[in-house]
């Protein structure tokens, strides 16, 4: 564990610890038996080793947080938008909180490798993680991954990336209404790519079929890098993906055409594109990806407060907003309580859908 050797050295110089250890060492060397009163005193002094008040130099208190290096876990490989968001906030924390922030990319198993690392870490604020929602709560609903949504605390949201339903510019579908009408007339015939079988986009399309009678064939890919060539090659009829910069670049290049987006309200950077909500699919608003921060369950509230307030301040910093792409920074800060409320709502709404999926 990082810091263990350093902590051990600090404790070995704690005066109370040295005094107690010395008493027992001298008695053992002389072969004499200490009176019970002195044994109790020695044991009490040795117990100071694990009491924060006994050796202030060897303990990390919430009041002094942060006083050491912070690990920031990211459940993706380096270079993507989520990794950029984590590194941008990590840099801001480092500049303003006065301690190094080391970003560790821990990809694998739909984010569960990183999440297991987080929830098994000491709840002291020195291990934090990028929380990607809905996947952080959907994955443990679909698979036994060793943790649940109740095993971590939220800090706040960094960015919110909507989902978009789009087609190639050569598609015969000029509007979302035309696309959905065709899907109803020809059940399961239209193929829609999604960035993974257990993503929120895949679940929302399942809900589109079950709750609104629009059956599509869902084709899972390993992210946008696979989906984009499939769309360009005409292997799928549409894609339902994060409205990330690489997808926006396809719109700008004239290769893709957006039909509908997932938030309840339209977005400023695609003002002409209707929402699924206004098209009559009012419940399909949960595939907007939230990227925020989380800490292990049991982290002191005052530590979470410091992380939350620093995040709030960071998202008001012009340099930070530019690095994140201001389009994706929420207009109003989503604090830890609002973030948790959104995760709880996703769990409630997706619960019945997940049961149907697991039953199949």
State the pLDDT at residue 59: 54
The angle formed by the CA atoms of residues 27, 29 and 30, to the nearest 5 degrees, is 65
130-167 burial code (b ≥16 CB/10 A, e <16): bbbbbbbbbbbbbeebebebebbbbbbbbbbbbbbbbb
For residue 118, give every residue at least 6 positions away whose Cβ sits within 8 Å of its Cβ, in sequence order, or none: 73, 127, 128, 129, 152, 294, 295, 296
Neighbours of 13 (CB within 10 A): 11
H or E element at residue 4:
helix 4-12
- Confidence at residue 28, expressed as pLDDT on a 0 to 100 scale: 47
pTM: 0.78
3-state class of 205 per DSSP? helix
Beta bridge partners of 223: none
CB 209 within 8 A of CB 216: yes
Strands 127-133 and 70-74: parallel
Q: How far apart, in whole angstroms, are the C-alpha atoms of residue 181 and residue 297? A: 46
Residue 128 · residue 155 · CB < 8 Å: yes
Within 13 Å of residue 46, how many CA atoms lie on the same side as its CB?
12
3-state secondary structure 280-347: CCCCCCCCCEEEEEEEECCCCHHHHHHHHHHHHHHCCCHHHHHHHCHHHCCCCCCEHHHHHHHHHHHH
What SS3 class is residue 177?
Answer: helix
Phi, psi at 116, each rounded to 5°: -65, -35
Exposure on the CB side of residue 283, measured as CA atoms within 13 A: 16
Alpha carbon 128 to chain centroid, angstroms: 10
The one-digit pLDDT tens for each residue of the chain (360 residues) are: 333 333 333 333 343 343 344 444 444 444 444 454 444 444 444 444 444 443 443 456 788 999 999 999 999 888 888 899 999 999 999 999 999 999 999 988 878 899 999 999 999 999 999 999 888 898 898 888 889 999 999 999 999 999 999 999 999 999 999 999 999 999 999 999 998 887 889 999 999 999 999 999 999 988 888 899 999 999 999 999 999 889 999 999 999 999 999 999 999 999 999 999 999 999 999 999 999 999 999 999 999 999 999 999 999 999 999 999 999 999 999 999 999 999 999 999 998 888 887 776
């Amino acid at each position: 564990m990082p810091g263990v050797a350093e902590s051990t050295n600090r404790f070995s110089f704690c005066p109370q610890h040295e005094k107690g250890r010395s008493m027992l060492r001298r008695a053992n060397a002389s072969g004499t038996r200490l009176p019970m009163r002195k044994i109790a005193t020695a044991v009490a002094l040795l117990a100071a080793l694990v009491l924060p008040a006994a050796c202030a130099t060897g303990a990390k208190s919430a009041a002094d947080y942060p006083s050491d290096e912070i690990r920031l876990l990211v459940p993706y490989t380096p270079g993507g938008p989520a990794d950029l968001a984590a590194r941008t906030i990590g840099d801001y924390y480092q500049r303003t909180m006065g301690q190094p922030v080391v970003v560790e990319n821990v990809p694998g198993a739909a984010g569960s490798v990183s999440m297991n690392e987080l929830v098994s870490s000491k709840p002291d604020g020195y291990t934090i993680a990028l929380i990607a929602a809905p996947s952080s709560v959907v994955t443990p609903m679909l698979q036994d991954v060793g943790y649940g949504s109740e095993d971590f605390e939220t800090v706040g949201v960094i960015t919110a990336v909507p989902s978009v339903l789009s087609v190639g510019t050569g598609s015969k579908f000029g509007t979302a209404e035309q696309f959905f009408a065709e899907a109803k007339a020809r059940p399961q015939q239209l193929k829609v790519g999604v960035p993974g079988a257990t993503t929120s986009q895949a679940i929302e399309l399942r809900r589109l079929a079950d709750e609104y009678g629009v059956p599509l064939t869902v084709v899972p890919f390993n992210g946008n890098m696979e989906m984009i060539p499939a769309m360009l090659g005409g292997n799928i009829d549409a894609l339902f993906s994060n409205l990330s910069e690489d997808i926006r670049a396809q719109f700008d290049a004239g290769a893709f055409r957006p039909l509908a987006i997932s938030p309840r309200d339209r977005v400023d950077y695609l003002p002409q594109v209707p929402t699924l909500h206004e098209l009559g699919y009012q419940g399909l608003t949960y595939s907007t990806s939230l990227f925020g921060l989380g800490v292990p369950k049991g982290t002191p509230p005052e530590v979470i407060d410091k992380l939350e307030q620093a995040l709030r301040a960071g998202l008001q910093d012009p340099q930070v907003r530019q690095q994140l792409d201001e389009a994706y920074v929420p207009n109003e800060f989503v604090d830890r309580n609002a973030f948790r409320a959104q995760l709880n709502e996703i769990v409630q709404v997706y619960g019945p859908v997940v049961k149907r999926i697991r039953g199949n």
